[in-house]
A and B are shown apart, each in its own frame.
Chain A
Amino acid sequence: MSDLDSQLDKLFKAASRAPRETSCELPYGFETRVLAAWAASPAEEISLLAFFQRALLACLAVMALTLAYSYGNWNNTVSSNPLYAMTDSAVDSAVDISLP
């Protein structure tokens, strides 16, 4: 251990022996101030949380509607397209022929 290290340790040791303030009593009105701040702030947090929850639900609902609409559109396109209809009919015929 270097000289510097030992001097530093000696300083720490001496510092740790310094008397501390021992008063641990709650200051006057402390509890009331904390409780008042607690009562005031969580309401805001809860409403913010509720707002985000509602926003998330609304987003999910919009997503579901969009998906349903897109699926419906795609389905209509597939069934109304003559090319798809011809292919379907050819496949159906082939299946009918191959089946006994």
Chain B
Amino acid sequence: MQACVERAKQRDETAARELMQQLYPLVLKLVRGHLPRRTGEEDLCQMIFIKIFQNLEQYSGKVPVEHWVSRIAINTCLNQLQSEKVRPELRWADLSEEEATVLQNLSEKSDAPSIAEAIASREVVDKLLGELQPQDRLVINLMHIEGYSLQEISQITGWNTTLVKVRAFRARQRLKNVFNQLMAEGKL
């Protein structure tokens, strides 16, 4: 990969194509996890790769290429999210029937969720995260959904571990408030 980067720096098109093929799954995964609502997945990936190639000269090789690319991808997603207006407050009525059922069943002890329940849960989480600021959304997603460790999040985002901890704690508190309001509404 490193050799490929060096060749791409010399404007080698074949190396650039090779680099794109190797890095596309990683970029796509990050984009899918943090996709802004009004931007297409492909458009955002394209934007990220253009940034990667434009800044290739600045890549010093001190960190793995994947980490450097992850930072560019995440920052691009965050910038895109920040440019979007805040979504109106999430109400119980905004949930589909399946999503409402998932929330109503949360207090019950159950086994592993079915695929349909998992998909509905993911949609509820996406709606809840939509109420948070982009950085809060990012840290919750990486930590609780993707299951990354503090160190991994630190490497991906470039934030130090203390900052990750603080942001994760505050983001969870904010998410809890939104969740609490939604659940209270559902009990009415």
Residue ranges of A at the interface with B (Cβ–Cβ < 8 Å): 3-5, 7-12, 14-21, 24, 26-27, 30-31, 33-35, 37-38, 41-42, 45
Per a CB cutoff under 8 Å, which of B50, B117, B121, B144 touches A34? Answer: B50
Per a CB cutoff under 8 Å, which of B20, B103, B117 touches A26? Answer: B20
Per a CB cutoff under 8 Å, which of B16, B53, B125, B172 touches A15? Answer: B125
Q: Considering the complex, give the chain A residue whose CB is closest to the CB of B21.
A: A26
Cβ–Cβ contact A11 & B124, under 8 A: yes
Count of interface residues, chain B, beta-carbon cutoff 8 Å? 40
Is B152 on the interface with A (CB-CB < 8 A)?
no
Cβ–Cβ contact A7 & B119, under 8 A: no
> Interface majority SS on B: helix, strand, loop or mixed?
helix
Is B150 on the interface with A (CB-CB < 8 A)?
no
- What are the interface flags for B46-66 relative to A under an 8 Å C-beta threshold, 1 for contact and 0 otherwise? 100110011000000000000
Instruction: Give min CB distance, B181 to chain A, whole Å.
Output: 11
Q: A8-B179, A17-B118, A42-B54 in contact; A35/B112 too (CB < 8 A)?
A: no
Cβ–Cβ contact B32 & A14, under 8 A: no
Residue ranges of B at the interface with A (Cβ–Cβ < 8 Å): 13, 16-17, 20-21, 24-25, 28, 32, 42, 45-46, 49-50, 53-54, 102-103, 106-107, 112-113, 115, 117-119, 121-122, 124-125, 144-147, 172, 175-176, 179-180, 183
Q: In the complex, A77 Cα to B158 Cα: how many Å?
A: 58
Instruction: Give min CB distance, A9 to chain B, whole Å.
Output: 8
Q: In the complex, A18 Cα to B125 Cα: how many Å?
A: 11
Q: A12-B144, A12-B145, A41-B54 in contact; A31/B102 too (CB < 8 A)?
A: no
Cβ–Cβ contact B107 & A7, under 8 A: yes
